[in-house]
Amino acid sequence: MPGSGKRSSKSRRSRTSKRASSSSRKSRSTGKSRRRNEARWFHHPFIRFLIVGTLFAGAVAFLIGLMVLFHYDRLAARYDLSAVGRLPMETEVLDATGERIGWLHGEDVGMPVPLESVSPHFLNALIAREDARFYRHHGIDRLGLIRAWIRNAKEKRAVQGASTITMQLTRMTYGLTGKTIQRKLLEMAIARRIEKHYSKNDILSQYVNRVFIGTGINGIEQAAQGYFGKSSSDLTVPEAAMIAGVIRAPNGFSPFRHYETALREMRGTLARMEDEGMITKEEQQRYREMRPVVLDQDRWMEMLRKQSKVSGESYILKMVEEKIEELLPSYAGIGGLTIQTTFDERLQRAAEISVDERLRALESQPGYTHQTAAGHRSGDPEYLQAAVTIIENHSGAMRATLGGRSYHDSAFNRAIRSRRPMGSIFKPLVYGTAFERGLFPGMLISDGQIAPGEIAWDDEGWDPQNSDGVFGDFLPAEQGLIRSRNTMTARIGEWSGIDTVLTMMEHAGLGVVEGEVSPTVYIGTTGANVRDVASAYSVFATGGLRHEPHFLLSVQDREGVTIYQHEDRSYQVMSSGAAWLTSNILKRVLEEGGTGASLREMGFAAPAGGKTGTTNDFHDAWFAGYTSRLSGSVWVGLDQPQPIYEGAYGGKVAMPIWFDIMSAAENIGYEFTAFAEPEEVIEMQLCRSTGLLASEKCAAAGTVYVEQVPHDLIPRKFCKQH
């Protein structure tokens, strides 16, 4: 029926609409539910903590990265970028008189050539092997760094580096050494600055003319001449690839000594060149079969001797080189400097001759048991050593220094790097300290055995012996130094107090006591180096004033501009009065009855003061002394402490060397005059027991004596003990 059909159609549409509506409601309901679930997931405490923590860690890492970058950029800014543009030259080292001591960097200067004169084959080989992205980075190859880190992490060792040519040039220019992360970050920061100031070709030119390529070869021109006897402009592809291949390990890959290894590196470089599209596969296969003819190494060494200004190595030149690296790092690797030192080559030679002759004489004595210098063949020397330093009193200028008998056998500088027990040469500082605090040379001090508990702070019950095995009665304090009495010195040290003595020791430039302090410090069981001992003794000649020891006077660059000039640094170690009283006693040490009397017997007549020192079992023999102009100290001993021989006292072993050097100084023209006196010295009556002004009761007790008192040490109180 028509009506029935219409109702049926409407009914179907209604049901469909209802289903669609229901489905839509369900869909909306499901969507809302999903969004509610997602919202609940996002608001989960752990998830929120994880997200916030990650963002915070990222922000902190970013800030730390910025701080590190800023820090190393500031450090890099201290380096003179103009040094990059200066090709290496030899540096001339002069003594105080203008005489040449030698050369630094003479073997490192190479044979510089313009970049246009270098074979393009070598430039391609170099870039392919060392820094394929050289023209695309700004000093740091970040992709190379990532690759290197990944590979090294996989191998669990450093098998691949990521230094660009610019970073390598940075190391060459500024002498950066070591494999620390700090050095690497500094290197990167400087490399970035170099890239901003120099073109790529400038950087490449400096690199190829400086790079070390083995066996005294520096720069591409020397490499081409040395290995193949031709100019760098004429290198073939295989020759260029071989030279580029050995740069990473010039001595290990040297074509002179390890030809097959160098050949392997050549083939590796050729493969890199093919990878970079510099040569074809066919060319690579053809070149890798070639065997470039390498000339004889002796031929090159003879050329090097003729071309280079190379000095024999010495303790002095090494000291100068290290000081330049410390003070002028921008100039350390490029040279071209004129360095004037304070050394006197005449005095230096006298020291070397004396040490050699005196110690050879000791080694030739019957019964001498140690290795001799003549018997040494290889390895660390075990023969008797000596170290010497001579210093100008009123400037601190070092006139001579010797770090051992042979730099060739041992480059270890015993004059500045070895701290050996001082023995009795430390005692004058103990006395000088006591004079500062009211002791006088004529006061009576017991030479008897130290009683238990006498040194209250000593927990070990130290019982020092005198060298002659005898204890004495009360003696004037000065006799304790003249005759080097240990018991008297210990009591005089206690007069001042251990802390005061240690302060004086440090103030005089002798360093600090390492480890636990004991009363044995008073008699010199602590160590010091020879240079510092000479400097400390100079204060007795200068009225207590110490000038910092130095050996670098001035430095001029290749244009003649002074870039370093020494400035005197001095300070008062002890009062002029205390220095004068101590010096008067040290002069008597060298007279009859003193431990250094044999100096006068040798024939040294100039005004002088000094002290011998010998440590237990004759391990170390010392003599330290001074004249009005020069102070010097001499140490003799074995590197591994053991008895030199029975009876090897400082007066027998070390003093003769001091005598030889100072006698040579007189012959050269150094004038040794009488010592200066204090402005005012007053003759006073003092009490021998207290050092104070004598009273009538002191006279009754028989303790009054007459003392020569410097004005700055005059007692202000009368004795109340009697």
Reduced to 3 states (helix: H, G, I; strand: E, B; else coil), residue 400 is: strand
Instruction: Judge whether residue 99 has pLDDT over 50.
Output: yes
pTM as predicted: 0.75
pLDDT tens string 583-597? 999 999 999 989 999
Binned at pLDDT 50, 70 and 90, residue 349 comes out as very high
**Residue for token pair 């380096």:** 79
Enumerate the β-bridge partners of residue 682: 709
pLDDT at residue 309, as a whole number: 67
Which has the minimum average pLDDT: 21-25, 422-426, 496-500? 21-25
- Nearest 5°: phi and psi at 442? -90, -5
CB pairs under 8 A, 24+ apart, for 299-308? 300/215, 300/216, 300/217, 300/225, 300/226, 300/227, 300/256, 301/215, 301/216, 303/225, 303/226, 304/107, 304/216, 304/226, 307/111, 308/90, 308/106, 308/107, 308/109, 308/216
Q: What is the mean pLDDT of residues 411-418?
A: 96
> What does pLDDT average to over the chain?
89
pLDDT at residue 501, as a whole number: 97
Q: What share of the chain has pLDDT > 90, as a percent?
A: 72
**Residue for token pair 């009368």:** 718
Q: What share of the chain has pLDDT > 70, as a percent?
A: 87
pLDDT at residue 73, as a whole number: 76
pLDDT at residue 149, as a whole number: 61
Specify the length of the chain in residues: 722
Which has the higher per-residue pLDDT, 681 or 333? 681
CA quadruple 203, 204, 207, 208: dihedral, nearest 10: -160
Which has the minimum average pLDDT: 69-73, 190-194, 474-478, 507-511? 69-73
Which has the minimum average pLDDT: 35-44, 135-144, 230-239, 690-699? 35-44
Cβ within 8 Å of residue 77, ≥6 positions away: 193
pLDDT at residue 159, as a whole number: 44
pLDDT tens string 705-722? 999 999 999 999 999 988
CA quadruple 409, 415, 416, 420: dihedral, nearest 10: 100
222/213 Cα distance (integer angstroms): 9
Instruction: Judge whether residue 330 has pLDDT over 90.
Output: no
Q: What is the mean pLDDT of residues 355-361?
A: 97
Element (H, E) at 612: strand 609-614
pLDDT tens string 228-283? 999 999 999 999 999 999 999 998 999 999 999 999 999 999 999 999 999 999 99
8 Å CB contact between 706 and 698: no
pLDDT at residue 63, as a whole number: 67
pLDDT at residue 142, as a whole number: 79
Element (H, E) at 149: helix 142-155
Binned at pLDDT 50, 70 and 90, residue 51 comes out as confident
Binned at pLDDT 50, 70 and 90, residue 384 comes out as very high
Nearest to 102 by CA among 348, 391, 413: 348
**How many other β-carbons are positioned within 10 Å of the β-carbon of residue 639?**
17
CA quadruple 121, 122, 125, 131: dihedral, nearest 10: -130
Binned at pLDDT 50, 70 and 90, residue 381 comes out as very high
pLDDT at residue 83, as a whole number: 84
Instruction: Judge whether residue 148 has pLDDT over 70.
Output: no
Which has the minimum average pLDDT: 27-41, 70-84, 94-108, 298-312? 27-41
Instruction: Judge whether residue 35 has pLDDT over 60.
Output: no
Which has the higher per-residue pLDDT, 30 or 702? 702
Which has the minimum average pLDDT: 28-32, 240-244, 322-326? 28-32
**Residue for token pair 């640094």:** 569
Which has the higher per-residue pLDDT, 37 or 43? 43
- Domains of the chain plus CATH, in order, are 110-165+197-307 (1.10.3810.10), 318-368+383-418+529-563+594-678 (3.40.710.10), 420-527 (3.40.710.10), 681-713 (no CATH)
DSSP 556-573: E-TTS-EEEE----EEES
Instruction: Judge whether residue 598 has pLDDT over 80.
Output: yes
pLDDT at residue 588, as a whole number: 96
106/92 Cα distance (integer angstroms): 9
Which has the minimum average pLDDT: 26-35, 272-281, 544-553, 704-713? 26-35
